[in-house]
Amino acid sequence: MGKIHLFSDLNAWKEAYELVILVYKLTDKFPAKENYALTGQMRRSAVSISSNIAEGFSRRGKREKILFYSTSLGSLTELQSQVLIAKGVGYLSGEDVTAINERLTVVHKLINGLIKGVTKLHNT
């Protein structure tokens, strides 16, 4: 793997970006009445994941980096809850939920890796 110069070089950000695209495509199919409710909430949560990874990357201090990476995990958990709600009300199929959950799992692992990496780097 080459040197990481930009937040967009991070695998965690790349996967989170793909998650955002998937969420936007799937929520496009939601009823219009959900535009300012579940659709908007799911999109904000997804965008927050990648945005906080990007912001954490730009921070210099260990605590700040971990704070933003942890915030992205919080947004990821919010999105997991919202996916279950969307499935429960019939807006997402089982196949859709599986696709989102697979990506959520990958992003979760990568963010945890970022947190561990920052912790390890700053402890040496």
Q: Which own/partner contact pairs does 79-84 have at CB distance under 8 Å and 24+ positions apart?
A: 79/19, 79/23, 79/42, 79/45, 79/46, 79/49, 79/104, 80/104, 82/38, 82/41, 82/42, 82/45, 83/42
Residue 1 lies in a domain: no
Predicted TM-score of the model (pTM):
0.93
Residue 46 lies in a domain: yes
- For the segment 18-38, what is each residue's pLDDT rounded down to a tens digit? 999 999 999 999 999 999 999
Contacts of 8 (CB under 8 A, 6+ apart): 14, 17, 54
Looking at residue 48, its amino acid is: S
Residue 69 lies in a domain: yes
Asked if the model's pLDDT at residue 122 lies above 70, the reply is no
CATH number of the domain enclosing 77: 1.20.1440.60
Q: Length of the chain, please?
A: 124
